[in-house]
Amino acid sequence: MSKKRINTALISVYHKQGLEPIVEELRRLGVTIYSTGGTQKYIEGLGASVETVEAQTGYPSILDGRVKTLHPKVFGGILARREEEHLRELGKYDIPELDLVIVDLYPFEDTVANTDDEAQIIEKIDIGGVSLIRAAAKNYKDVVIVPSQKEYETLTTLLREQNGESTLEDRQKLAHRAFAVTSNYDVAIYKHFSSEAMDSDFRASVNKKQELRYGENPHQTGAFYGDFEAMFEQLGGKPISYNNLVDIDAAVGIMREFKDNEPTFAVLKHTNACGIATRDNVLDAWKAALAGDPVSAFGGILISNSTVNLATAEEIHKLFYEVLIAPAFTQDALELLQRKKKRILLRIKDFYTQPQTFKSLLNGVVVHDTDLKVEVSNDLRIVTEHTPTMEEIDDLLFANKVAKHLKSNTITLVRDKQLLGMGCGQTSRVDALRQAITKAKHFDFNLEGAVMASDAFFPFPDCVEIAHEAGIKAVIQPGGSIKDQLSIDACNKNTMAMVMTGTRHFRH
C-alpha cells in the first residue's frame, strides 16, 4: 500500500523550536513517541508521554552522549521492510517498528563559523543523527523521515491534513530532502578538514535555493543557490533574475575595490563598467559616472559606495535602470525611488567576494583563486625616463582597478578618477584601445592628459603610439613581454610615463 499510517515516532533533535505543534498532533493521533536526552525532557515538558530509547535498548546514553541511538533495537525498527520475513525478525528480537523519524543535526557549520575551538567543532559532528536520517530515508517506502527543522512545518501539515497518514510521494520527497541534508553536512565537514587550497576532489554544497523566472534566456531554467539576504536587503522592485544576479555580482566585485574610498559611483552593463567616477560627494560621483557612457547606462546596474541622498536620487530617477545598489538610502531618497515599482533597490550589507571561483567546463569543473590582488603605489615600477605625477599615479591605479573587472582584452582611459572611455572583450588589444578612444570622443571627452591601463602586456609599441596621438600621458600595464622595451622606448620618445605592476588581470 502506498499510504502508511504513523503509529510510532523516534524524535532526536537539536533545535526544539517548532516541535511543539508536532508533539501535539502526535498526541492527538495516539502515536507512541520514543526519544532520549534533551529532546525527551523537552517533549515530557509539553505533557506528552515518552518511551525512552535507553529502556528499549537496555543501554544508557554513554560517552558524554556520543552514543545514544546507535543500536540494533533502534535501527532495526527503522530499516525493517514491512514484509513478513523482516516483521518476524522484529518480533523475535522484540524490536518496535518506527514509522516516523524526526532528526535535527548538531549545527556543525554554525559552530565552525563562530569558534576556532577545535574540540567544540569536533563535538558538533553528528554521528547518530546522520545515521538515523540515512536509515529512514533508505527505507522511505515504509518510513517518514523529517531531516531538519526546516521540514517541521511540512510534517505538521501532513499530520493535521492527512490525519497521520503519508503517501509514497510524501515519503519520497522527504527522503530526497534527507539526502540533501546529509550530503551538505558531509561536505561542510570535508571542507573543514581540508588543508589544501585545491583538494584532489571537488566538493561544493549550498543549501538555500531561490527560484528564478528563467536562466540567461527565457528558454533556459534557472535557480540561485545561496543566501542573498545575507548580503542584501531588497527595498523595492521585481524579483531578482538570473541576469540581474550576474550583473550584481560584477557590480559588487568592482565596487569592493572602492568601498573605503571617497564617494564612488559605477554604472555597469552586461557585467562591464561603462562609467565609474570618484568625487567629493555622491551626487557629483553619479553625474561623472553617468557621463562616461549615458547611452549604455540605459537599463544598467548602478552601484555606490556611499549613501544615496535625495539630490542624487532625483537625478537617478530620470534614468531607466534595472538595479540600484548602495550601503544606505536617506528616507526621502528611498520614497522617491520606490515610486518606480519595477526598479530593484538593494541595500548592500557586505561587499563579500568568494575566495575561490568555479564554473562547469567541458565534462568537469574548473576552479581558481578569485583575483583579489589590488595594486598600490608601492607595487608600481617606473620603467620610463619620465616619472608620473602623484595625480597621474592616482589615476593609473584607478584605471587599473577598472580594467581588472572588464572582459579581456581591455583598455581603460581615465582622468581625474573618471572613466572616459573603455574597450573590452576585444580579440585585439589595439581594437580595445581604438574602441576606448572612439567612445571617449563620442561623449565629448578630451583625452589630453589622461592615463591608460591595460589588463595585460603590450607585445608591440602600437598601443603606446596610438595612445600618444590621442593625448595620453601615462600608462600602467603588467609587463612581462619579451618585447617590453619596444613600448618603453615608444613612451620615452613621446615623453610619456609608464609603470609596470608585474600582475596580469585577464578576465574571460
Catalytic residues: 138, 270
Q: CA–CA separation, 226 vs 121, rounded Å?
A: 23
Q: CA–CA separation, 211 vs 269, rounded Å?
A: 23
Q: Which residue has the cell 600602467?
A: 476
Give the bridge partners for 13, in sequence order. Answer: 104
**What number of other Cβ atoms are within 10 A of residue 454's Cβ?**
27
Q: CA–CA separation, 113 vs 109, rounded Å?
A: 6
Q: CA–CA separation, 14 vs 19, rounded Å?
A: 11
Q: CA–CA separation, 107 vs 192, rounded Å?
A: 14
Where is 422: in which H helix or E strand? strand 418-423
Q: Which amino acid type is present at position 166?
A: S
Tell me which residue of 452, 338, 434, 350 sits closest to 392, measured CA to CA: 452
Kindly tell me the burial class for residue 160, based on how many C-beta atoms sit within 10 Å of its own C-beta (0-12, 13-18, 19 or more): middle
Q: CA–CA separation, 251 vs 273, rounded Å?
A: 8
Are the C-beta atoms of residues 407 and 272 closer than 8 Å to each other?
yes
**What number of other Cβ atoms are within 10 A of residue 491's Cβ?**
24
3-state secondary structure 147-186: CCHHHHHHHHHHHHHCCCEECHHHHHHHHHHHHHHHHHHH
Q: CA–CA separation, 288 vs 295, rounded Å?
A: 14
The SS3 call for residue 373 is coil
Are the C-beta atoms of residues 258 and 305 closer than 8 Å to each other?
yes
**What number of other Cβ atoms are within 10 A of residue 349's Cβ?**
12
Q: CA–CA separation, 377 vs 413, rounded Å?
A: 18
Q: CA–CA separation, 99 vs 142, rounded Å?
A: 7
For strand 165-166 and strand 4-5, is the pairing parallel, antiparallel, or unpaired? antiparallel
3-state secondary structure 216-251: CCCCCCCEEECCHHHHEEEEECCCCCHHHHHHHHHH
Give the bridge partners for 346, in sequence order. Answer: 234, 325
